[in-house]
Structure 1
Amino acid sequence: MKRFLALIVLFYCFSFLGFSQSKFVIQNKTQSDKIKFKLINNLIVLPVEVNGVNLSFLLDTGVSKPIIFNFLNVSDTLKIRDTETIHLRGLGNGETVEALRSRNNVFKIGEAVKLKQDLYAVFNSNLNFGLKLGVPVHGIIGLDIFKDFIVEINYSSKYLKLTIPKKFKYKKCKKCERFNLEFYNGKPYIYAEVNLGKKNIPVKLLIDSGGSDALWLFEDDSLGIRAGDKFFNDFLGHGLSGSVYGKRSKVKTFSLKSFVLKNANVAFPDSTSVLLAKKIKDRNGSLSGNILKRFNIIFDYQKAILKLKKNNHFKEKFSYNKSGIELEHDGVRLVKEIDKNRLRNNDIPLVDNGTQNSTKIIIDPEYKISLKPAYTIVELREGSPAEESGLKIGDVILSINNKQAHEYSLQEIVEMFYDDAGKRMKLKIDRNGLVSTFYFQLQKLF
């Protein structure tokens, strides 16, 4: 009731001030605000308040309306209303997914507020990105932010700056490149160029900040877009309609005007997984986080402008998972630990005076049981070093190279799998209560 009354007060305050309720507004004199974000696996995770509840959302230029994932009890916690059941389809070769559409929700991002926001609650237990990133992620948001503001994404300093368009002024920048955007269903597209073999090929790409890969291309023999001879089959990710698989390879160069990236990662998703995406006229693929993070970016949807400037990530080498393991943060497990801060009352240190009767310090450590994150193997690339060592889907990792797994974040473990080829890995795992140890080496595939 208190939250409901607070929303009523907020509603009348905004009505009195004459703010539009159907779009985001910023509640300060500068009409601009900075929001810090986390950059995890090339993805932007930012704080979003929904109906008074603090949540974390992925910033995804590839979505039209905010989506809340079903692991959050949306009906009780968010008090969403004005609902109807619909079905959505996205990437993946599965069926459509059931979702609950809700209107008139209050969204707040920093000092930007919108009083009448639609959202979709998706009923699919597989769409829990928090498990894959190792941090809570409750939903995704995109178009509703970009259409109301000039959005500056500073990947190097990890902040988002939102500015009302009429208050924004472009600065001169000799080291920047400016692009014209095209839109389809509110999603931005950009033209670039890839070199596959000896051929430069112009491509039209969806800008997809919600994807962690570098580049996806749709194979098309008529255009010369194909994986070639050097590739490996792999799991590429999860879409609304299921898992996506395909080929991983490299492009010789990827060019955004004067900005040229060499040996960039590329994935060629199976045609069945991107059937819907390929229906969009002239679309050749997606440009995602592992390339976007190499620039500081200005999105201006109203003028259809994108501005790029290289940042300190630009020269980072493109790598890939050389183990074949995909992990998830799969709840918690009980861990027995020594509690070094607790001593028995009678263990009092005395000075050793050199006699036979002298008393020495005796520390009898006690143990405590703690809840620690559990990391579970959810995908294994066929023929990969991890699979050939005997590891299986469902194995829970207990330690890596003699260090307890829970002492790492999920991202730190994943980064180990992207290390140099030849690195030795020792994994102790729990398989249905049986503890075993497996050894393998990271393997170069190109």
Structure 2
Amino acid sequence: MIKKCILHAFLTLLLITSEYKNVSGQSIRFGFEINEGKNSTIIPFKLNSNLIIVDVLFEGVIPLKFIVDTGVTNTVLIDKTYSDILNIEPDRKLTLVGAAGLREVEAFIVNRTSIKVGEVTGNNISLLILKEDYLDLKERIGVKVHGILGYDFFKNFIVKIDYHNEILKIFNPYNFNRPLFFYERINMSVENSKPYIFQNIAVNDSTVIKTKLMIDTGASHPLMLHKNSNEYLNLPEKNVRDILGAGIAGNIEGHAARIPKLYIDKYKLEQVVTNYPDSGAYHDIIVNTGRNGTIGGGVLKRFKMYFDYGNETLYIKRNGFLKKEFKHDMSGLSVIAKGEYFLEPYYEIERVRENTPAWEAGIKVEDKIMSLNGIRGKDLSLELINNTLSKKDGKKINLTVKRGDQILEFTFYLEAFI
């Protein structure tokens, strides 16, 4: 199964909040704005593993791909290679600490960069540059991603996210007069650049609790809950041990389970797949913010949404994804994308959980996937593999792999673990 990526920079930096500064009598623009004074513009995106990926133009020269992520503060360049190509000198160096506090990584700040996203241009943007690609997103989602657009991108606009049609619509808030009669209005608290909503969760058949949840478009899981952040938030009895995602500190481990119900205003989502990271992984964040968890793309993609950071308001309306069943791996496999094999991307088994259908069939770590249910080579993708391995209980899987010089064929049947 493709691991659900949880993307966080885990830092708070000073933000450039003013739109204009006067330097030597000249008016200099700062921040993101819609080109030519337009009131709105549409930006297409690709939805991959529940993540929003847009095309950007970096410094007016290099085309890159960025994730749109409400869970981070700054605009982030994941790989320093691209700033080095343009001989961009950092203004200062800093150290970031991952979720569990077990790994420190180096990063740099550049105070004035240019980033163009469709007809939205960011002038003199404060950019966080990671020294190396610590997130390794290509392995996790099968697409090369170069950066992240965070709070800086959202704060000056009203942003509509339409997952079903894969478009963002960006509005100038001062001229926004679109009636939203058919949307539900939810109070949203923006704290230290992160958006939070307070929603009810049924933790069992008789107990419903109100939780503080961060909205994180940069997380592909449906829901993450922090154990013991509330006396009723305990790990369900039926669960599976797994790698839940990846951050700058490496893999985030814990358990996956299901909760009976998640309520988003008037909407009720049932049997929601929920990640429970190991205790301690988010300890400081829980203490500092009081949050109980995170709503990720696996839930968010079921709605059309308007983010209005200025008025701390979220508007939502269901889309065609709302009633789709929440899926989880039924094979026991963790699969990653690797470089090029016979001049094509290939997919490799990263992990096989014990006592699962794939483990009992004899599949091993580092087996290279040649075909899955008759789909071969270049026609495969991580998303297709993930969807196939979480299809339905009892589904037959035919898998052909290359192990050393051997070509091996395996057959097994999917089994629901949670």
- Kindly indicate whether the alpha-carbon contact (under 8 Å) linking 1:194 and 1:255 is maintained by their aligned counterparts in 2: yes
Letter in 1 for 2:413: Q
Query: Counterpart amino acid of 1:311?
Result: N
Ranges of 4+ aligned residues in structure 1 off by more than 4 Å: none
Q: Deviations over 1:223-250 (max 9, x none)?
A: 2111221111111100121111111111
Partner Cα separation in structure 2 for residue 102 and residue 199 of structure 1:
49
Aligned residue for 2:358, secondary structure, equals: helix
Indicate if the aligned counterparts of 2:230 and 2:292 stay in contact, CA closer than 8 A: no
Q: What is the CA-CA distance between 1:389 and the residue it aligns to?
A: 2.4
Q: Is 1:386 paired with 2:358? A: yes
Q: Give the C-alpha shift of residue 387 in structure 1.
A: 2.5
Residue correspondence of structure 1 range 139-154 to structure 2 within 5 A: 139-154=147-162
Deviation of the 1:31 alpha carbon: 2.7
CA distance in 2, matches of 1:426, 1:111: 46
Q: Secondary structure at the match of 2:31?
A: coil
Q: CA contact under 8 A between 2:236 and 2:258: conserved in structure 1?
A: no
Retained in 1: the 8 A contact 2:259–2:272? yes
Letter in 2 for 1:122: L
2-structure distance, mates of 1:222, 1:103: 40
2:198 is matched with which residue?
Answer: 191
What is the Cα deviation at residue 20 of structure 1?
5.0
**Candidates 60, 63, 75, aligned match of 2:69:** 60
In 2: Cα distance, 1:430 partner to 1:92 partner = 36
Unpaired runs of 5+ residues, structure 1, are: 1-13, 335-370
Pairing partner for 1:179 from 175, 178, 186: 186
Write the mapping of 1:280-429 to structure 2, written as runs, cut at 5 A.
280-334=288-342, 371-429=343-401
The 3-state SS of whatever aligns with 1:49 is strand
SS in 1 for 2:237: coil
Alpha-carbon spacing, 1:235–1:271, altered in 2? closer, same or farther (3 Å): same
Query: What number of residue pairs does the alignment pair up?
Result: 395
| Larger Rg, first or second structure (1 or 2) | 1
Aligned to 2:78: 69
Contact kept? 2:229, 2:286, Cα under 8 Å: no
Cα pair 1:154 1:160 within 8 Å, conserved = yes
Distance in 2 (CA, whole Å) between partners of 1:20 and 1:162 is 22
Whole-angstrom CA distance in 2 between matches of 1:179 and 1:41: 26
Match of 1:430 in 2: 402
Structure 1's 298 and 249: CA in aligned 2 closer, same or farther, altered over 3 A? Answer: same
Alpha-carbon distance, 1:429 to partner: 1.6
Distance 1:249 1:51, change over 3 A: same
Q: Which residue of 2 aligns with 1:350?
A: none
1:76-225 mapped onto 2 (5 Å cutoff): 76-92=84-100, 94-173=102-181, 175-197=182-204, 198-220=206-228, 223-225=231-233
The TM-score with structure 1 as length reference comes to 0.84
Displacement of 1:290: 0.7
Is 1:240 aligned with 2:248?
Answer: yes
* Residue identity in the other structure for 1:196: V
**Are the aligned partners of 1:332 and 1:372 in contact in 2 as well (CA < 8 Å)?**
yes
Q: For 1:127, what is the secondary structure of its paired residue?
A: coil
Name the structure 1 match of 2:16.
none
Q: Distance in 2 between matches of 1:90 and 1:131?
A: 19
* More moved, 301-310 vs 390-399: 390-399
TM-fit CA distance, 1:124? 4.0
Question: The residue matched to 1:276 in structure 2 has which SS?
Answer: helix
- Aligned residues of 1:50 and 1:78 also touching (Cα < 8 A): no
Distance 1:437 1:424 in 2: 13
Superposed counterparts of 1:12-23, under 5 Å: 20-23=28-31
Q: Pick closer, same or farther for the CA change 1:126–1:393 going to 2, 3 Å.
A: farther
Give the secondary-structure state (helix, strand or coil) at the position aligned to 1:412.
helix
Q: Percent identity, aligned pairs only?
A: 31
Q: Is the 8 A contact 1:19 1:25 kept in 2?
A: no
Q: How far has the Cα of 1:15 moved from its partner?
A: 9.6
Alpha-carbon deviation of 1:221? 7.5
State the SS of the aligned residue for 1:81. Answer: coil
Q: Structure 1 stretch 179-188 or stretch 275-284: which is displaced more?
A: 275-284
Counterpart of 1:365 in structure 2 is none
Q: Once the two structures are superposed, what CA deviation does each residue of 1:114-142 show, in whole Å capped at 9, x if it has no partner?
A: 22112222234441212322222111111
Give 2:51's aligned residue: 43
